[in-house]
């Protein structure tokens, strides 16, 4: 049996030590803990985000989940490497699935006292909208503000919509008739089943055109609230805060390029 000389043995020992050290270093790197932020940043491409799209707020999100809001969200995430899937649901179900963590995010959610702690929001709103009190033309002409509204006034609203902090102060005084679609509020107003309806301006105009009604049939009396709507993210989604930041970046890019304003002014989806 040939026995290697002492110098050869020394070289073999050194090579073995180097190989063992390299292997140990590789294993250490594989076992090192990765923070949520680091993991998210390292895997931007191909991230899959599940969003709940409400089915009754055209022209922002219609019965197929299509509209201005959906288009803005798609465009904002387009350059962030995020894969989107949409589940089209009634708004109340969007909020339910957000709370349970069945979806990562949902829209169009107002950021106000009743929602601030329930969901995670970014800093850049998806949209700014105005909601007004609508009456049948020629009725309740003495009512010009919140303070003029009597107790037990019959008010048509969309189930689980947010109507601003001022409305929440007065809400207990009203007899709310809650429905799921804007067209139902308009029909009940015409039939005299409610005294007034609260509707978002652009949504009401869209619904009236679809129903082939002249806007002069109704009196858009006074502002209920002006507010911002967001994509709300679930506290149970592990990447919620990171996704909110990514959406912020995408929306700011759209605003800087002028694409945001162009998309808002696009009337191609309106009848």
Instruction: Map tokens 């919620």 to a residue.
Output: 240
What is the structure's pLDDT at 46? 58
What span, in angstroms and rounded, lies between the C-alpha atoms of 22 and 38? Answer: 24
Is residue 33, in this structure, part of any structural domain at all?
A: no
Is residue 220, in this structure, part of any structural domain at all?
A: yes
Q: How many domains does the chain have?
A: 2
Task: Give the CATH number of the domain where residue 242 resides.
Answer: 3.40.190.10
Is residue 234, in this structure, part of any structural domain at all?
A: yes
165 and 194 both lie in a single domain:
yes
Token digits of residue 104: 């990562």
Token digits of residue 205: 């105009």
What is the structure's pLDDT at 182? 87
Please give the chain's pLDDT, 271 residues, in tens. Answer: 443 444 444 444 444 444 444 444 434 333 333 223 322 333 345 578 999 999 989 999 999 999 999 999 999 998 788 889 999 999 999 999 999 999 999 999 998 888 999 999 999 999 999 999 999 999 999 999 999 999 999 999 998 888 988 899 999 999 999 998 889 999 999 999 999 999 999 889 999 999 999 989 999 999 999 989 999 999 999 989 999 999 999 999 999 999 999 999 874 444 4
Give, in order, the Cα–Cα distances in Å from 13 to each of 2, 9, 24, 25: 18, 6, 17, 18
Count how many residues are written for the chain. Answer: 271
Q: What is the mean pLDDT of the chain?
A: 83
135 and 202 both lie in a single domain:
yes
What is the structure's pLDDT at 1? 43
What is the structure's pLDDT at 79? 72
What is the structure's pLDDT at 271? 42
142 and 93 both lie in a single domain:
no
Q: Which residues in 136-157 are b (16+ Cβ under 10 Å) and which e?
A: beeebeebeeeeebeeebebbb
What is the structure's pLDDT at 215? 87
Is residue 255, in this structure, part of any structural domain at all?
A: yes
Is residue 10, in this structure, part of any structural domain at all?
A: no
Of 249, 263, 229, the C-alpha closest to 127 is 229
67 and 116 both lie in a single domain:
yes
CA angle 61, 160, 77 (to 5 degrees): 35
183 and 110 both lie in a single domain:
no
Is residue 26, in this structure, part of any structural domain at all?
A: no
247 and 122 both lie in a single domain:
yes
- Residue 220: which domain range? 130-226
181 and 105 both lie in a single domain:
no
Global pTM exceeds 0.75:
no
What span, in angstroms and rounded, lies between the C-alpha atoms of 263 and 75? Answer: 10
78 and 142 both lie in a single domain:
no
What span, in angstroms and rounded, lies between the C-alpha atoms of 46 and 247? Answer: 15
What is the structure's pLDDT at 189? 96
Is residue 249, in this structure, part of any structural domain at all?
A: yes
Instruction: Map tokens 């790197």 to a residue.
Output: 29
Over residues 160-200, the pLDDT tens digits come to: 888 988 899 999 999 999 998 889 999 999 999 999 999 99
97 and 71 both lie in a single domain:
yes
Residue 245, judged by CB atoms within 10 A of its CB (0-12, 13-18, 19+), counts as middle
88 and 216 both lie in a single domain:
no
- Are 173 and 151 contacting, i.e. CB atoms less than 8 angstroms apart? yes
What is the structure's pLDDT at 104? 96
117 and 150 both lie in a single domain:
no
Is residue 11, in this structure, part of any structural domain at all?
A: no
Residues contacting 76, CB < 8 A, separation 6+:
247, 250, 251, 253, 254
67 and 95 both lie in a single domain:
yes
């Amino acid at each position: 049996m040939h026995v290697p000389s002492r110098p050869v043995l020394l070289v073999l020992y050194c090579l073995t030590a180097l190989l063992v050290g390299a292997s140990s270093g590789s294993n250490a790197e594989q076992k090192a803990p990765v923070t949520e932020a680091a993991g998210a940043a390292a895997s931007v491409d191909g991230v899959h985000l599940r969003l709940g799209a409400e089915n009754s707020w055209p022209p922002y999100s219609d019965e197929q989940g299509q509209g201005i809001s959906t288009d803005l969200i798609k465009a904002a995430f387009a350059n962030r490497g995020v894969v989107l899937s949409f589940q089209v649901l009634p708004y109340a179900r969007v909020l339910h699935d957000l709370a349970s963590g069945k979806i990562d995010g949902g829209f169009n959610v107002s950021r106000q006292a009743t929602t601030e702690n329930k969901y995670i929001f970014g800093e850049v709103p998806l949209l700014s909208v105005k909601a007004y009190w609508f009456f049948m033309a020629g009725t309740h002409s003495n009512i010009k503000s919140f303070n003029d509204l009597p107790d037990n006034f019959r008010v048509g609203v969309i189930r689980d919509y947010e109507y601003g902090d001022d409305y929440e102060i007065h809400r207990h005084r009203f007899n709310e008739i809650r429905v799921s679609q804007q067209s139902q509020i308009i029909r009940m107003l015409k039939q005299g089943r409610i005294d007034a309806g609260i509707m978002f301006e652009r949504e009401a105009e869209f619904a009236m055109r679809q129903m082939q009604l002249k806007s002069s049939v109704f009196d858009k009396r006074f502002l209920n609230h002006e507010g911002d709507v967001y994509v709300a993210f679930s506290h149970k989604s592990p990447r919620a805060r990171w996704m909110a930041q990514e959406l912020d970046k995408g929306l700011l890019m759209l605003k800087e390029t002028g694409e945001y304003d162009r998309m808002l002014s696009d009337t191609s989806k309106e009848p």
